[in-house]
Copies of this chain bind each other. A is one copy, B any other.
Amino acid sequence: MSITLYDLAGADPDLRFSPYCWRTRMALAHKGLPVETVPWRFTDKPAIAFSGQGRVPVIRDGDTVVSDSWSIAEYLEERYPAPTLFGGAMGRAHARFINAWADSVLLGGIARLIVRDILDVIDPKDRDYFRSSREARFGMTLEAVQQDREQRVATLPETLTPVRLALRGQPWLGGAAASYADFIVFGTLMWPRCCSRFSLLAADDPLLEWQERMLDLYGGLGRSARRA
């Protein structure tokens, strides 16, 4: 039986752009698990009320319901051990740091460059919610958050320095093979890739070579994703 993934979608139901849902999507693909995705919009809270909270990703695996991308990764590793996402308890603990870094540093850095673009791709019924919740978070209009991004985009490659340095010593963040650490960073980068046409990395950034390999994994799951 397939696992059901409630996956954030745009006005186009095939446009899937959540950085958290992408982490889950890659983890499911890594495990080779059949998955059925359900397009979900920010304001479809009743559709996932069964999960006891109001955000995606949410998965339903038989009778088991899990929300939150990190908790889902832990659940999948426990329930379907091979191939591994973490390489053991210590690998999982170290990945939690990378997850925290992506959530607290990388995600915010990207948001300040593309958050206004998201408004153009989401479902019309989500737009008021998205604008008001994000403007409250940033304390300014979405247009103000994103302004001067051509100048500010130069800071993003610097934010990604730890990723670039780690990949100098190994082909994947997971070492010899991709791990959930790769899915965390790659999933976060799928967010701007899918919902914006603004380029975040220079054409000669060494990270692009890794990103290209990530896009090819699991039958080109990332590469075939719909883009705005």
Asked if A114 is at the interface (CB within 8 A of a chain B CB), the reply is no
The residues of B that contact A104 with a CB separation of less than 8 Å are 161-162, 165
Contacts of A121 in B (CB 8 A): none
With A87-B89, A87-B90, A179-B94 in contact, is A100–B165 under 8 Å at CB? yes
Q: A87-B87, A88-B88, A105-B161 are in contact. Are A179 and B97 (CB under 8 A)?
A: no
A192 in contact (CB, < 8 A)? no
B179 near A100 with CB under 8 A, answer no
A190 shortest CB reach to chain B, Å: 19
Given the known interface contacts A100-B162, A101-B162, A105-B161, the answer about A90 and B93 at a Cβ–Cβ threshold of 8 Å is no
Interface residues on A, range: 35 or more
Q: Max chain B CB contacts within 10 Å: which of A96, A169, A174?
A: A96
With known contacts A103-B165, A105-B162, A165-B103, A173–B97 Cβ distance under 8 A:
yes
Q: Is A163 interfacial (CB 8 A cutoff)?
A: yes
- Chain B nearest Cβ from A170, distance in angstroms: 6
- How often does this chain occur in the complex, in copies? 2
- Residue pair B96, A179 in contact (C-beta under 8 Å): no
A176 at the binding interface (Cβ < 8 Å): yes
| A84 contacts chain B at the CB level, 8 A cutoff | yes
B contact residues around A90 at 8 Å (CB)? 84, 86-88, 91, 174-175, 177, 179
A172, CB-defined interface residue at 8 Å: yes
Contacts A89-B87, A101-B162, A179-B90 given; indicate if A96 touches B169 (C-beta within 8 A): yes
Report yes or no: A94 in contact with B181, Cβ–Cβ below 8 A: yes
Considering the chains assembled together, what is the distance between the CA atoms of A179 and B93 in angstroms?
10
25 A-B Cβ contacts within 8 A?
A: A87-B88, A87-B93, A87-B94, A88-B88, A90-B91, A90-B177, A91-B93, A92-B175, A93-B175, A93-B176, A94-B94, A94-B98, A94-B173, A96-B166, A96-B169, A96-B170, A97-B97, A97-B173, A97-B181, A100-B162, A100-B165, A101-B101, A103-B165, A104-B165, A105-B162
Chain A residues in the interface with B (C-beta under 8 A): 84, 86-101, 103-105, 161-163, 165-166, 169-170, 172-177, 179, 181
Identify the 5 closest CB pairs spanning chains A and B, nearest first: A87-B90, A93-B175, A94-B94, A100-B165, A91-B91
